Amino acid sequence: MSELVTEYGQLLGEIKQRIRSAQYAALKAVNKELIALYWDIGKLIVERQQGETWGRSIVEQLAKDLRTEFPGISGFSVRNIWNMRSFYLSYYQNEKLQPLVAEVSWSHNLVILEKCKDDLQREFYIRMTRKFGWTKNVLTHQIENQTYEKTLLNQTNFEAAITEDYRNQAKLAVKDDYVFDFLELGEEHSEYQLETAILAKVQPFLQEMGGVFSFIGSQHRLEVGDREYYIDLLLYHRALRCLVVIDLKIGEFEPEYVGKMQFYLAVLDDKMRMPYENPSIGIILCKSKDKTTVEYALKDATKPIGVATYQTFSALPQELQGQLPGPEQVAKLLEGIE
């Protein structure tokens, strides 16, 4: 009898999974059709406006007639029809982005359309939304916290320390600066207070770190010889399939932090990493850093390490805007978001 119950449980589980897969596939198909419909409406309006004197009154009438003809279908407001026109005008000359926009919802597209003015920036957020399943609110948060710029400005040694097959994905997993305004910490705080505040709000912390991390533990003990060492925070990156060490520092970055991190990563890779997992990655989180000092400190490091800062408010220093990589470099990096 127990065997029949077990077999039935397995059957039920498989059928549930199949139903969920079918539901997800159906939602994706519906979304693609909806985006294609809005694209075509935007295109028709743009084509009709060429050489004509169509203005707001025509669009208002169009919205009214469409709502009358299709009362059960939402989305035909005046504002949304203008959005369809803007949507088409923004992407019709970009063959690379045209198929990508159908991979995310219309509400996500509108957020990206409104808040991002550069095609590479739009591609970044479309790909990240598709890959990590960001909700509209998470997407808005990521854009407002300048995740695109902070990811491109990150300081790591991944180019030399990580194999090519997942190097770009790893680069996209580390930002140059993180915003922990949700921790409600004062400007002056200890490392213990920082860690305690993070542990009290793990979910928003993981979201700010990138949304695909799982929390393993704090003060993770490593035993080497007859001594014990403790890692501040140990995470797991699900997409990269690797352990991630977070070392918290409340002051300015110091070069010796890299040696300590290399030690942690070597021990983890030897004692804890599974055969199917990628090498562990370290992120040194400091209150401030000198970029040149970080470059020299990471230059000969053999373990994959990133150095980032954290703050309690969102701002990208104006002088860093001019340091963003060129379009070709950015386009190559975005290939890592599949």
Does residue 158 sit in the same domain as residue 144?
no
* Claim to verify: residue 48 and residue 78 sit in the same structural domain: yes
Q: Mark whether 195 and 76 lie in a shared domain.
A: no
Could you tell me if 235 and 109 lie in one domain? no
Domain end position, chosen among 106, 129, 148:
148
Using the structure block, give the residue that is written with the tokens 């159908």. Answer: 102
Do 249 and 213 sit in the same domain of this protein? Answer: yes
H-helix segments, the chain: 2-49, 56-69, 78-91, 106-115, 119-132, 136-144, 147-152, 158-161, 167-171, 191-200, 202-209, 256-271, 291-299, 327-334
The predicted model scores a pTM of 0.76
What are the pLDDT tens digits along the chain (338 aa)? 566 667 777 878 887 888 888 887 788 888 899 999 999 999 988 888 776 666 667 788 888 998 888 887 888 899 999 999 999 999 999 999 999 999 999 999 999 999 998 999 999 999 999 888 889 998 998 898 889 999 999 999 999 999 998 898 899 899 999 999 899 888 889 999 999 999 999 999 998 998 789 999 999 999 999 999 999 999 999 989 999 999 999 999 999 999 999 999 999 999 999 999 999 999 999 999 999 999 999 999 999 999 999 987 655 555 555 566 777 777 777 776 66
One domain for residues 41 and 142: yes
Say yes or no: 144 and 160 in one domain.
no
Rounded CA Rg of the chain: 24
Q: Is 170:303 a contact under the CB 8 Å cutoff?
A: no
| Pair (140, 178) in one structural domain | no
Q: Do residues 198 and 183 make contact, with C-beta atoms less than 8 angstroms apart?
A: yes
Shortest CA distance to 146 belongs to which of 316, 287, 306, 326? 316
Tell me, yes or no, whether 122 and 172 share the same domain: no
Structural domain boundaries enclosing 59: 2-148
Task: Please tell me the predicted confidence (pLDDT) of residue 309.
Answer: 96
Pick the last residue of a domain from 115, 130, 148: 148
d(CA 243, CA 241): 7
Of 93, 120, 148, at which residue does a domain stop? 148
304 and 173 in contact (C-beta within 8 Å)? Answer: no
Provide the domain count of the chain: 2
What pLDDT digit, counting tens, does each position of 209-220 carry? 987 899 999 999
Please indicate, yes or no, whether residues 162 and 139 belong to a single structural domain of this protein.
Answer: no
Q: Are residues 275 and 218 in the same domain?
A: yes
| Tokens, residue 154 | 């990150």
Looking at the fold, whether 232 and 215 belong to one and the same domain comes out as yes
Identify the CATH number of the domain in which residue 289 sits.
3.40.1350.10
